[in-house]
Amino acid sequence: MTKPVPWILGIIGVVFIGVALVYWLTPAEGLPSFLPGFEPGSDHVHLTHALGSLVIALALFGIAIIWFQLSSEDY
């Protein structure tokens, strides 16, 4: 039986990895305006936002792996 929740969590984790990369590699003035931390004319890089996104992604991957390894008999 296919378990869709771990796959969904994995996809969301990949999205958060992408967000972390954008925060890590882009100065504040270059961020899309819909992301928190956008500041026109600023060259500040939001490392805390990047690390926060990375932690969320790793947590999602961990939950997905644990959920994927559980079988229906374990409940």
pLDDT in tens, the chain (75 residues): 567 888 899 999 999 999 999 999 998 888 888 888 878 888 888 889 999 999 999 999 999 988 888 855 555
Q: Domain map of the chain by residue range? A: 4-27+46-74
Residue whose tokens read 């890590």? 24
Q: Count CB-CB contacts under 10 A for residue 12.
A: 15
State the pTM of this model.
Answer: 0.81
Please report the pLDDT score of residue 71 as a whole number.
57
How remote is the C-alpha of 73 from its chain's centroid? Answer: 31
Q: Which residues contact 13 (CB under 8 A, 6 or more apart)?
A: 56, 57, 58, 60, 61, 64
